[in-house]
Amino acid sequence: MNTAVIYKTKYGFTETYARWIAEDLGANLLIADKVKPADLQNHSTLIFGGGLYAGGVSGIATLTKNFESIKNKALYLFTVGAADVTDQKNIDSIRGSLGRVLTPPMMQAIKIYHFRGGMKYSKMSLTHRAMMGLMIKMVRKKPENELRAEDKLMLETYGQDIDFTDRQMIVPLLEDIKARMK
């Protein structure tokens, strides 16, 4: 299988998924910041992964800047964030953010998946902690009857390290790639 998994991680959740995918597919594992355009040309299937931060995807520039030279390859993107990806509102929000970064041809060419990561307050930068503090303040202002399960969980776990990674989440992506290669 001529496949590469290219990822960028800040707190390790994206790397966990990238390693699982590479292991299950026998793929090369590459760090986005170290990838050169020639590395992308050596593979027929490219899987990009990045964490979600303030509406953006970490490392997505590796995909967008090289799109013209790789658009005829099998392209996949997985995002990793703390949000519950079984909640359609969260998926719609992530897709809306991606739509501001990926052009319509990119959105058509790239198969997109979403995985749930977690929060590592113990490793968060001051900026990320401040952003989380602002988010918590906004959630606390909501009336009790408007709090979603995700809001309640955020309030309960604020300041704690939590990990929602689940190897089963990658199964649909793996099945899609394997079916495409038949």
Domain extents for the chain? 3-120+162-180, 121-160
The per-residue pLDDT for range 97-111, each reduced to its tens digit, is 898 999 999 999 999
Residue 1 has pLDDT above 70, yes or no: no
- CATH classification code of 3-120+162-180: 3.40.50.360
Query: Which residues on neighbouring strands pair with residue 111, listed in sequence order?
Result: 76
* Span 106-128, average pLDDT: 91
Q: Tell me the pLDDT band of 154, cut-offs 50, 70 and 90.
A: confident
Mean of pLDDT over the chain: 91
- Predicted confidence at residue 151, as pLDDT, reads 84
Average pLDDT, integer, range 134-163: 88
Give the model's pLDDT for residue 90: 87
DSSP string, the chain: --EEEEEE-SSSHHHHHHHHHHHHHT-EEEEGGG--HHHHHT-SEEEEEEEEETTEETTTHHHHHTHHHHTTSEEEEEEEESS-TTSHHHHHHHHHHHHTTS-HHHHHHEEEEEEE-EE-GGG--HHHHHHHHHHHHHHHHS-GGG--HHHHHHHHHTTS-EE---GGGGHHHHHHHHHHT-
| pLDDT tens digits for range 17-67 | 999 999 999 999 999 999 999 889 989 999 999 998 777 888 899 999 999
Instruction: For the chain, give the percent of residues with pLDDT over 90.
Output: 58
pTM, full prediction:
0.89
